[in-house]
Amino acid sequence: MRFRDEFYFLSNMFPVEIKIGEYTFSCAESAFQAAKCIKPEDKKRFESLNGFEAKKLGRKVALRPDWNDVRILLMKRILKIKFSHPDLAEKLMAVKGDIIEENTWHDTFWGVCEGRGENHLGKILMSLREKLLRSEPHTPLCKIEEVKGDLFDAPWNRSNLFVHCVSADFALGAGIAKEFNRRFDMRNRLKKRYHNPQVGKHYTITYTTEERYYHVANLVTKQNYWDKPTYESLRKALESVEVDVHNLGYKSIAMPAIGCGLDRLQWSKVKPIIEDVFKNRDILITVYFL
C-alpha cells in the first residue's frame, strides 16, 4: 500500500494541524522531527516547515539521547493527535485489510521496502484503527446541561475549561468578553501572547492564583468586534477546542450560550453544533444563562 492518492491521508506528510503543548505543526512529520530536539528554540523551528522540509532539517539536529528508545512511543502520541480529527478518523476506520507502508527509499523500520521491513508506522495505524472502531459511539458521549446562574460560579480547576467568544482584534469591550477582560486582564494577555489570531481558531489563557487554576479558551469567531460571526466560524473554533479537550484531558466545559448574546446567533442552531463537535468526547458541558 503506497501512502498516496486515496491513501495519502495516512502519510505523515499529509497536511493537518498537530498541536502539542505550545507548539503547532503543519503535519505529523514536522511534529515527529521536532520531537528529536532537546532545546525549545530548536523545536520552534519546525512549526513553519512542511513535512519534507522538516525531515531534511531533522537530519541535522542533535538527537535527544533516548531517541531510539522513545521514537515509537512519540510516533504513537503524534498519530493519536492526528487522527483525533473526526474526518481523518472516519477515513482510517474505512481502510480495509492490513496497512503496510510500502516505500522505495529503503525505510525498513517504519515501513517495508522490496518486501522487507518492520512496518512500525503501519502497525501503529492499524492499532489506532482498531481502537477507533471499538470506541465508535452510537450516541453522543458529551452531555450538555443548561442552567440558570453566573458563569463565574462554575468550578475553577485544572480539568475544567471556560469557553467564550471574542473577535480577532481582541477588543473584549462588550458582553461576557468584557467581564473576562475585567477579571483577568484578558485583552492584554491575549495580545501579548498571540500576534496573528485567526478566525475559526481558539487561544487559551491560563491564569493561576494560590486557590484557583483558570483555563480560558477564547474562540475567535469574527475578525473585528463590529462584525457578526457565522455558524461555520463558530463550528471551526469549537473544533479546535475539541482537539485540546482530547489532547489535554479536560473533563468539563463551562460556557455562556456562545454567540447568542450580542452576536445574535440562535441557541436552537448553536446547541446542535456543540453536540456534533463534542459527540465523541465524554465531557460535561454546562451552559449558563442569566
Mean pLDDT computed over 266-288: 93
Distances, alpha carbon 275 to alpha carbons 88, 227, 234, in Å:
19, 25, 13
Mean pLDDT computed over 181-190: 96
Question: Percentage of the chain with pLDDT > 90?
Answer: 83
What pLDDT is recorded for position 157? 86
Give domain limits for the chain: 5-135, 143-289
Confidence band for 170, pLDDT divided at 50, 70 and 90: very high
Phi, psi of 258 (to 5 degrees): -55, 135
Mean pLDDT computed over 132-140: 72
Query: What does the alpha-carbon distance between residue 268 and residue 3 come to, in Å, rounded to a whole number?
Result: 42
Give the pLDDT confidence of 91-106 residue by residue, as tens digits. Answer: 999 999 999 999 999 9
The pLDDT of residue 31 is above 90: yes
What pLDDT is recorded for position 212? 78
Distances, alpha carbon 48 to alpha carbons 21, 80, 131, in Å:
16, 21, 31
What pLDDT is recorded for position 106? 92
Topology (CATH) of 5-135: Tetracycline Repressor; domain 2 (1.10.357)
Confidence band for 209, pLDDT divided at 50, 70 and 90: confident
Q: Name the residues annotated as catalytic.
A: 222, 263
More confident residue, 25 or 210: 25
Confidence band for 139, pLDDT divided at 50, 70 and 90: low
Query: What does the alpha-carbon distance between residue 97 and residue 213 come to, in Å, rounded to a whole number?
Result: 46
Give the pLDDT confidence of 37-55 residue by residue, as tens digits. Answer: 999 899 999 999 999 999 9
Mean pLDDT computed over 258-272: 95
What pLDDT is recorded for position 210? 74
Amino acid making up residue 27: C
From 199, 203, 278, select the one nearest 245 (Cα to Cα). 278
* Average pLDDT taken over every residue of the chain: 93
Residues 252-288: b if buried by 16+ CB within 10 A, e if exposed: bbbbbbbbbbebebeeeebbebbeebbebbebebbbb
The pLDDT of residue 136 is above 70: no
Mean pLDDT computed over 132-147: 81
What pLDDT is recorded for position 138? 52
Strands 284-289 and 252-256, by their bridges, are: parallel
Topology (CATH) of 143-289: Leucine Aminopeptidase, subunit E; domain 1 (3.40.220)
Q: Are 123 and 172 in contact (CB under 8 A)?
A: no
